[in-house]
Amino acid sequence: MLDINLIRHNPDIVRQGLVNRGSDPSAVDAILALDVQRREIIARSEQLRALRNTVSKEIGRMKDEAEREAKKAEMRRVGDEIATLEAELGKIEAQLAELTGELPNLPDPRVPIGADESHNVVVRTEQGTLPPLDFPAKPHWEIGEQLGIIDFERGVKLSGSRFYVLNGLGARLQRGLITWMLDLRRQQGYEERYLPFMVRSQVLFASGQLPKFRDNLYHDAEEDFWWVPTAEVPLTGLHSDEILSADELPKLYAAYTPCFRREKMSAGKDVRGIKRGHQFDKVEMYAFTLPEESDHYLERMREDAEATLRALGLTYRVKLLCTGDLGFAARMTYDLEVWAPGVQEWLEVSSVSNTGDFQARRANIKFRRERGAKAEFVHTLNGSGLALPRTMIAVLENYQQPDGSVVVPEVLRPYVGVDVIRKSD
RNA sequence: GGAAAGGUGGCCGAGUGGUUUAAGGCGGCGGUCUUGAAAACCGCUGUGGGGCUCUGUCCUCACCGUGAGUUCGAAUCUCACCCUUUCCGCCA
């Protein structure tokens, strides 16, 4: 949510920011007009309320019956007028909430301007420590099926396309990655949280998924439950409607959750393998910080995510997203992409974003610098650390051997329990 | 799923239609006293919106779980819903 005062006083800045990220700026004018109407109506109705409050007290003290009845009749008319104004106000505020709720965050000035992902900037490429493969690399679906650790057919039988089953060491590899990542996050200073995987509408509004992106979410038809598309959602809601004290900031959290996405927008894309499913696992990082420290923690969180890939010895690159590719709530985002030699693709395994006070406004998360000081909105950041299926792809394809086996990365061996994944293990 | 009792400020807790401007207490902050501290005493105390003689020790509106309703006037009365606790049922 953008600050209404920013829209009111600097509409040009807001319009420019929206244009830069490829959004329609016309809502700004509608919002400004509604804002003026809103304040006019409030001024009038409050004046009438003040009058009624005063006169009602007088009525309580009146002894003269006729005079009292006359005043009551008069206040009845005032009440009717207030009701009319309030009804009008309700409509205007609903429209205002709808329009402002759909405005995305404004890009940070340092974000390169561009229409789409082709304008993203590769900041850095980090060479992995693994020796290059000296044989033709197989894609992970072949590796997985030949080893018997990924079962696509039974996934489809159970739930349709974009679902799969992990068998034995496949499941253990993923579980090992999750546990290892959570341990790594803890060493980096993040507190672990186990969260609900279904949340109320309000929580999805706070993080920015609702109202605009409901098509990509799974929703329970009978209750107000939505399956989380990322742990970012419940983590944003964790401190909603709270006022934190400055000395407990930053609050750094890590959480493992499955993520559920309808992938309506990417129908037909990435249908092969485990790159894009309706259900996938992720370890997520999240931070609540002082406003002046969020830029610093964006870099810190990117470093922390990178450390995961470095520990696995994988080759990856860091991208700074351009304005046109920013997510709804983000004002600046780094993507980490890992190289997968089997599919010959850079896979997005992490997206690290600073949302500034955008989510904090929607979730009403504040802090106080000192006792008695005015409460201010915190800043929030989120980052994947990391998305599991794509990390699995990278591990399988980079650690594959000529005989079809897959070496388990050293850091994972205590978690997986074997050094090499072979057929029929 | 059934029954009962509840939901009031940071916390406890009073308040069944109008001196309530939400009593009182605790906590917190400031002060008096003190060598210092404690105690005692005095004062202060939340959130959001709007306005202005425009940033103030200002005026005003709203907020007692949520939403509607009754009324000149609602924390208080009515209805619906949500949540909590206890008991029963069911269950991992």
- Here the CATH number for the domain that contains residue A94 is 1.10.287.40
Tell me the pLDDT tens digit for each residue of A96-153. 999 999 999 999 999 999 999 999 999 999 999 999 999 999 999 999 999 999 999 9
**Residue A324 belongs to some domain of the structure:** yes
Round to whole Å and give the CA distance between A50 and A52: 5
A390 classed as catalytic: yes
Residues A48 and A176 in one domain: no
**Residue A200 belongs to some domain of the structure:** yes
Round to whole Å and give the CA distance between A378 and A287: 10
Residue A311: CB less than 7 A from any atom in strand B: no
Residues A299 and A191 in one domain: yes
Distance, Å, A307 CA → B57 C1': 55
Q: Which of A345, A348, A369, A422 is catalytic?
A: A348
Nucleotides on chain B within 7 angstroms of protein Cβ: 18-19, 21, 28-29, 46-51, 60-62, 71-73
Q: Is the dihedral of CA A286, A291, A294, A296 positive or negative?
A: negative
Q: Which of A193, A194, A178, A233 is nearest to A382 (CA)?
A: A233
A351 classed as catalytic: yes
**Residue A9 belongs to some domain of the structure:** yes
Residues A239 and A371 in one domain: yes
Q: Which of A1, A21, A2, A15 is nearest to A333 (CA)?
A: A21
Q: How far apart are the first and last CA of chain A?
A: 52
Q: What residues contact A373, with CB distance under 8 A and at least 6 apart?
A: none
**Residue A108 belongs to some domain of the structure:** no
| Low-confidence residues of chain A: pLDDT under 70 | 372, 424-425
* Nucleotide nearest residue A78, measured CA to C1': B72
Distance, Å, A375 CA → B55 C1': 17
* Nucleotide nearest residue A35, measured CA to C1': B50
Residue A364: CB less than 7 A from any atom in strand B: no
Residue A373: CB less than 7 A from any atom in strand B: no
Distance, Å, A378 CA → B53 C1': 36
Round to whole Å and give the CA distance between A221 and A206: 21
Residue A186: CB less than 7 A from any atom in strand B: no
**Please, are residues A232 and A207 in contact by the beta-carbon 8 Å criterion?**
yes
End position of a domain, from candidates A101, A127, A156: A101
Helix or strand run (H / E) with residue A3: none
Distance, Å, A58 CA → B22 C1': 20
Q: Residue A14 class from Cβ within 10 Å (0-12 exposed, 13-18 middle, 19+ buried)? A: buried
Number of domains, chain A: 2
Residues A43 and A124 in one domain: no
A68 classed as catalytic: no
Residue A8: CB less than 7 A from any atom in strand B: no
Round to whole Å and give the CA distance between A370 and A418: 53
Residue A91: CB less than 7 A from any atom in strand B: no
Residues A30 and A179 in one domain: no
**Residue A107 belongs to some domain of the structure:** no
At A124 the three-state DSSP class reads: strand
Residues A331 and A277 in one domain: yes
**Please, are residues A282 and A370 in contact by the beta-carbon 8 Å criterion?**
no
Amino acid A225: pLDDT: 85
Amino acid at A344: Q
Distance, Å, A229 CA → B14 C1': 47
Please give the distance of CA A256 from its chain centroid, rounded to a whole number: 14
**Please, are residues A421 and A149 in contact by the beta-carbon 8 Å criterion?**
yes
Structural domain for A68, as ranges: 4-101
**Please, are residues A306 and A126 in contact by the beta-carbon 8 Å criterion?**
yes
**Residue A109 belongs to some domain of the structure:** no
CATH code of the domain in which A132 resides: 3.30.930.10
Tokens coding A133:
């493969």
Amino acid A425: pLDDT: 52
**Residue A173 belongs to some domain of the structure:** yes
Interface predicted TM-score (ipTM) of this complex, two decimals: 0.84
Residues A67 and A170 in one domain: no
